[in-house]
Chain A
Amino acid sequence: MNRERFSVVKIVSIVGLILLMLWTAFPLYWVFNMSIQTPLDVISYPPKFVFDATLENYSVVLLGKAWLGKYETVQTDFPRYFLNSLIVCFGAVALSMLVGVPAAYSLARYRFRGKENFAFTLLSFRFAPGLIVILPLFVIFRRLGIYGTYHGMVLAYQLITLPFSVWLMRGFFEDIPMELEHAARIDGYSWWGIFRKVDLPLVAPGIAATAILSFIFAWNEFLFGYILSSDVTRPVTPSLMGFISYEQVLWGQMAAAAIITLLPSLILAIFIQRYLVRGLTFGAVKG
C-alpha cells in the first residue's frame, strides 16, 4: 500500500516536471519556429510545426535589407540598434566597475559615519518606480543638451548597474575573512598590496559575475532606452516596439528580432548560473 502510494506520488511529480518544462520551453521553441518560417507559413492556419526552414527573416533583420518578395517592408535599422546596445551597456558596466569596486571594498572593510545610509541610498533606486527618475532625466538631459547622446545614455544606464554592482560586490568582499588581510599586513604588505594580492584574486570570479549580470540588466532594460534615446542611439530592446506596428505582416521578422535580442542575455546567464540567485536578490540570498 505504502509502496503503491509512493509510486503514485512519483508519477504525479514526473508529470508535473514535464508540464513545467513544456511551459518553459514551448514559447522559446515556438518563437524560434516562427523566426525560420516564410511570410506565408508564419501566418498560415493551422500553425505549421513542419515546414521548409528559411533564414530570410534573419538576413532581413541582421543585414537591414528591404524585403523584395510579396510582402514589402521598410528597411530596419536593427544592426545599428544592436551596436547601440553594445556601446551603452559596455559603457555603463565599465563605469560601474571603475567606481563600484572601490566603493564596495570601502563598504565591506571600513566603518564610517553614515555608511549604511549611503548604502541604502544606492539600494533605494531598485525599489523606486523607474519613471520617477527617468522623466526628470528626460527634462534635464534636454536642457543640458545630452538627450539622445551616447554619454547621456551611459550616465542613465549606470543608475541601473551601479547600485546593483556595489551591493553585490560588497557581499563578495565581506566573504573574505579579515584574518587573511591581517596575516598579509603582518607579512609587511601595504594597503594596496593587500588589495591587489589578497582580495582581488579571491573576489575576481564574483566581480566577473557582477559585471556580466549588470550587462544583462542593462541589455534587458526598456524604459531608460525608450525615453532617453534618439532614433540614432536607440538600444535594441526598446527598438523592438517599432516592429509591433507592422506585426500583421512582419511576424517572422519580429520573431527573428526577438530571438536575436534575447540571445546575449540567455547565453551569458548560462555562464553565471551559479551566481543568479545571489545576483537577483542583491546578495540577500546566497544560493
Chain B
Amino acid sequence: MSNLANGMELRQSFWRKNIALLLFLPAFLLTVGILAPFGYSVVMSFTNFNLTTGTSDFIGIGNYVKLIRDPEFWNSLKVTILFTIGAVAFEVGVGFIAAYLLNLGLVGQKLWRTLFLLPVMLPPTVAAIMWKLMMAPIQGVFNYLLQLVGLPGSEWLGSSSTALLSVILIDAYVFIPFAGMIFLAGVQNLPKEPYEAAAVDGVSNWFTFRKLTIPLLKPVIIIVLLFRIMDCLKHFDIIYAATKGGPASATMTLSVQSYYHSFRWTAMGYSFAHLVVLWAIVYVLSYFLVGQWKKAVSEVHGY
C-alpha cells in the first residue's frame, strides 16, 4: 500500500501534493483548540491563579510542593488507584466470562448479545442516578432484595466503608459490556487451525486455553486494559453524580478533587497542578500500554 501511495504521489503535480495537507488542515485547526487549553493548564499550574481574587502570579513549583505536603492529594491519589484496580479487575473478569457465555451458541444468543451490550451506551451520569435510586438505604430495592434472601442490607453509597465499592459496581455495570464485547470480537476472530491441531493432539481444554487462547487474545486484552485503565484514572462523572466524592472523601478521585479546588475554592492554579500530575500518570501508562499492544499485535500476526 505504501508503495502504491508513493507511485501516486510521484505522478501528482505540486498542487495535487498539497491537497493532502489542505484536506487535513481544517480538522487540525479545530484540534488546536485541544492543544491550546492544554498548554494553558500546564503554564497556569505554576501560578497562584485564583478565580475570586483574580490573581495569577508566577510562583514556580509552589503548587507542586504544596501538593506533596497535602494529605488530601495523597488520599485522592489512593482512591483513584483503588477505584481503577477494583473496576478494571471486575470488568475484565466478568467481561471474559460474559464473552464465553455469549459464544456458546445457546438459544436466543443474538438477542442476549444485544441486551448485554445496552448499558455501555447509557450516559454514565444516568447510570449513576439509576443505581443511586436502587441503592437507597431505606426504600431502595437492593436492600429489599438482600433482606428477601436473608442478608443484611448495606449503606451502599452512604457509608465511607462501602461507597468506593458501590461506585465500582456502577462503573462495572456500564463497562462490563465494553470488555465483554471486545473479548467476544477477539474470540470470534480466532483462527481455527491451531485448535484443530490441538484437538488432534488430544491436549486438555485448560492447556489449550492457557497456551493458545490467551496468547492469541493478548492484543484485545491489552486494548481493553488500555481504554479502561485510562478512563478509570481520569474518572469523573459516575462518581460525581453518585457521591460527589463523599462521604468523607471516600470516593474523592483526583479529577473530582481538582474540580472542587477550582469551583468550590476557586484555586485554579492548585487545581491545574492536580490535573498535570494526573495527566502525566495517564500519559506514561498509555505510552507503555500502546507499546505493549503493538508488540502483541505483531507477535500474533507475525509482521
Contacts and interface: CB of A to CB of B under 8 A. Distances in A.
Interface of A: 13-14, 16-17, 20-21, 23-25, 27-28, 30-31, 34, 43-47, 95, 98-100, 102-103, 105-107, 109-112, 118, 121-122, 124-137, 139-140, 155, 158-159, 162-163, 166, 178, 182, 191, 216, 219-223, 227, 237-238, 240-241, 243-244, 247, 251, 254-255, 258, 261-262, 265-266, 268-270, 273, 276-277, 280-281, 284-287
Contacts of B286: 127
Contacts of B131: 27
A269 B5 contact: no
A253 to B, nearest CB: 11
Nearest to B51: A139
Contact of B185 (A124, A129, A287): A287
B28 A103 contact: yes
B134 A30 contact: yes
Contacts of A247: 132-133
A261 B123 contact: yes
Contacts of A166: 27
B122 interface: yes
B95 to A, nearest CB: 10
B58 interface: no
Nearest to A100: B27
A129 B27 contact: no
A110 B283 CA distance: 28
A286 B188 CA distance: 11
B27 A216 contact: no
Chain A CB count within 10 A is highest, among B24, B38, B131, B230, for B24
Nearest to B32: A121
Nearest to B275: A132
A136 B38 CA distance: 7
Nearest to A133: B37
A47 B280 CA distance: 47
Contact size class for B?
Answer: 35 or more
Contact of B282 (A99, A128, A262): A128
A265 B6 CA distance: 42
Given A111-B5, A240-B129, A220 B123 contact: yes
B121 A107 contact: no
A283 to B, nearest CB: 11
B144 to A, nearest CB: 5
Interface in B24-64: 24, 26-28, 30-31, 33-38, 40-41, 44
Interface SS of chain B: helix
9 contacts: A17-B101, A27-B134, A106-B24, A130-B234, A135-B41, A158-B30, A262-B122, A277-B185, A285-B182
Contacts of A258: 126, 129-130
B255 A110 contact: no
Contacts of A127: 230, 282-283, 286
A27 B39 CA distance: 42
B5 A109 contact: yes
Nearest to B37: A136
Interface in B85-128: 97-98, 101-102, 104, 106, 112, 114-127
Contacts of A14: 106
Chain B CB count within 10 A is highest, among A95, A137, A247, A258, for A258
B237 interface: yes
B34 A159 contact: yes
8 nearest CB pairs, A to B: A110-B20, A136-B37, A103-B27, A269-B121, A106-B23, A129-B234, A287-B185, A220-B123
A244 B24 contact: no
B1 interface: yes
Nearest to A213: B121
A17 B112 contact: yes
Given A24-B118, A136-B38, A162-B27, 15 more contacts: A24-B119, A27-B119, A30-B134, A31-B133, A110-B19, A121-B28, A122-B31, A124-B34, A127-B282, A127-B283, A127-B286, A136-B40, A244-B241, A281-B182, A284-B223
